[in-house]
Structure 1
Amino acid sequence: MITLSERTFRTAIYLDQLNKRVRVDDYSGSLLDVLDKAEQFAEEEKADKLIIRGRREHFTQLLQRGYRYEASIDGYFLGSDCLFFSKFLSDERKACPHWTEEDGIIKNVYHLAEPSKTITPPKEYALKKMDESDAHALSELYSTVFQIYPTPLNNPEYIVKTMQEGTIYYGFVFNGQVVSAASAEVNHFYKNAELTDCATLKEHRKHGLMKILLVQLEQELIQHGIFCAYSIARALSFGMNAVLYQLGYSYRGRLVNNVYIYDKMENMNVWVKDLANTPNIGQ
């Protein structure tokens, strides 16, 4: 992350070489000067996608500069909405061969029945708040589930670093092995959290473990005064999108060719939830 402070603006820009993109995570002052700087970085990095987490009041300015609206997060900036705008710097990055299939997944998710209010896994599964001693077991889980992941979760040292920076992990342990896990990456300044790093070994996916983990993370966020929760799920994953829908999250758009995940570059769906107003399953 690069933090810049110049006469007309302040900004935080992430140079994501792994995913061939540049992302503007925050800014104040002159939006146009921020965009000029971000586009300069994108050219230098040979990125093929430029993303900005913009403010709703800058919608028209971003359109005028050639950016395309993709998704939003309600209340991300201390109650003000975040809008994802992107500029594609190659035709290949903009192409979407699975778009209609992903539309079908969202349509089918909306036809799911309401889940029961209580979810109880078999007694062999132990729910645990993960700590640094679990980093190696977590890295093994992520390495098994994902061939490719946009962050180095296959590295225990990276997981420890995220924990020290405030990311919360919960998991289920079965016969001494972590078989399912998820995390909440908390932004204490803007009072929001991304529920992410969701993974369950295939043979353990029939017990609703992920729903329980996400509810547990939500409860901890509420205790810390964090009420804006969001998650960014693989658009091709019916299961993960279904989990978020049934937990009361609302679909807010799709990020095109956003990251390398699972086994290729994929589109990602954005889901949001106001933890202050939405009842939680299992409570």
Structure 2
Amino acid sequence: MNITASVKKIKKDNFVAELYLDPFNKRLRVDDYAGELAHAVNEAEKTAKEHQYEKVIFRGRVENYIDLLAMGFQCEAVIDGYFRGSDQYFFCKYFSDERRTNGHWISEDSIVKNVASLERNPDVIMPSSEYQLIKITEEDAVKLAELYREVFKIYPTPLHDPSYIKKTIREGTIYYAFQYKDDLVSAASAEVNLFYKNAELTDCATLPTHRKHGLMKILLEKLEKDLKSQSVFCAYSIARALSFGMNAVLHQLGYSYRGRLLNNCYIFDKLENMNVWVKNLANSD
């Protein structure tokens, strides 16, 4: 089976839709739509069942909130300002009881509560001169893929493949990393949507032996500056709900918790819940 994700654009007489087909994570996401909502939903569900996917995610708009609830979806999270200033709602529907069940929800609630109680500290301290901050180019793709292979046994996108990283760079994804001696030891990226003026801060990885230096905060702040220079002010990140450290970094940088996506993707070593965090960069220094 081909596990590479793909985009399917559908244009009918009374609706258009952009579907993201993700066989590796057994899910379909509706990234954009216009026209007759019910027909777009029917098309998405039909396609998901044809591919035996277990979950449909709909990037819904506020004006369709009640309609999507009535069609059996549930709202799991929100991204403030995603659609050029208008909020986006993650509406989800499941096609198996197993995909709808997760045993970590209560412990993840506790992590969010403990993270929220931390004092916010956006200040970053540059590490020693042995760490060099670099912007990743296609020439660095092999080293970056090695870093992701070492940190993640499983990842929802094929970042273990240097050719995939090169492709995303050509499509506008921004990567920053810290180099220590000859190796990359920490990295993060921003997937930019210039049409709707938003960006997902993602692909955050640091080798365990380099995790006490605050490298990720520095990388994310650097990405934020790049985004603001492109007039992209809606920044969001989707972090492993079981990762106290990553959720704490986002909280300290001024991101707000906006919900949790249930059994969203295969990452680290299993199917995991993911927390959604959002920040309006227009209000940051």
TM-score range, shorter chain: over 0.9
TM-score, length basis structure 1: 0.97
How far apart, in 1, do the equivalents of 2:122 and 2:45 lie?
48
Alignment of 1:80 with 2:86, yes or no, is: yes
Give 1:96's match in structure 2, choosing from 80, 86, 102: 102
Shift of 1:113: 2.0
- C-alpha separation between the residues in 2 aligned to 1:260 and 1:227? 29
Counterpart check, 1:188 vs 2:205: no
Corresponding residue for residue 142 of structure 1:
148
Moved over 4 A (4+): none
Structure 1: distance between partners of 2:225 and 2:174: 12
Deviation at 1:263, TM superposition (A): 0.2
- Please, which runs of 5 or more residues in structure 2 have no aligned partner? 1-6
Structure 2 matches for 1:200-279, cutoff 5 A? 200-279=206-285
Unaligned runs of 5+ in 1: none
* Residue-by-residue CA offset, 1:224-273 (whole Å, 9 max, x unaligned): 11000000000000000000000000000000000000000000000000
Which of residues 58, 62, 65 in structure 1 aligns to 2:71? 65
Kindly provide the CA deviation profile for residues 82-122 of structure 1, in whole angstroms up to 9, marking residues without a partner as x. 00000010000010100001000001101112326242211
> Which residues of 2 match residues 32-51 of structure 1 at below 5 A?
32-51=38-57
Query: Could you say if the C-alpha distance between residues 101 and 77 of structure 1 is closer, same or farther in structure 2, counting changes exceeding 3 Å?
Result: same
Structure 2 residue identity aligned to 1:186:
V
Report the counterpart of residue 3 of structure 2 in structure 1: none
Equivalent residue for 1:178? 184
In 1, distance between residues paired with 2:161 and 2:20?
20
Q: Is the 8 A contact 2:120 2:254 kept in 1?
A: no
d(CA) in 2 for partners of 1:48, 1:116 = 39
**CA, structure 1 residues 180+5, in 2 after alignment: closer, same or farther (shift >3 Å)?**
same
> Once the 2 structures are TM-superposed, how far is the Cα of residue 133 of structure 1 from its aligned partner?
0.6
In structure 2, how many angstroms separate the alpha carbons of the residues matched to 1:116 and 1:98? 29
The aligned runs of 1:122-141 (5 Å cut-off) are 122-141=128-147
RMSD value, Cα? 0.7
Q: Is the 8 A contact 2:81 2:88 kept in 1?
A: yes
In the alignment, the residues of structure 2 paired with residue 80 and residue 113 of structure 1 have an alpha-carbon distance, to the nearest angstrom, of 29
CA distance in 1, matches of 2:198, 2:122: 27
- Give the Cα–Cα distance (whole angstroms) in 2 for the partners of residues 23 and 115 of structure 1: 35
* AA of the residue aligned to 2:150: T
Distance 2:81 2:69 in 1: 21
- 1:57 CA displacement: 1.1
Question: Percent identity among equivalent residues?
Answer: 60
The alignment's TM-score, normalised by the length of structure 2, stands at: 0.97
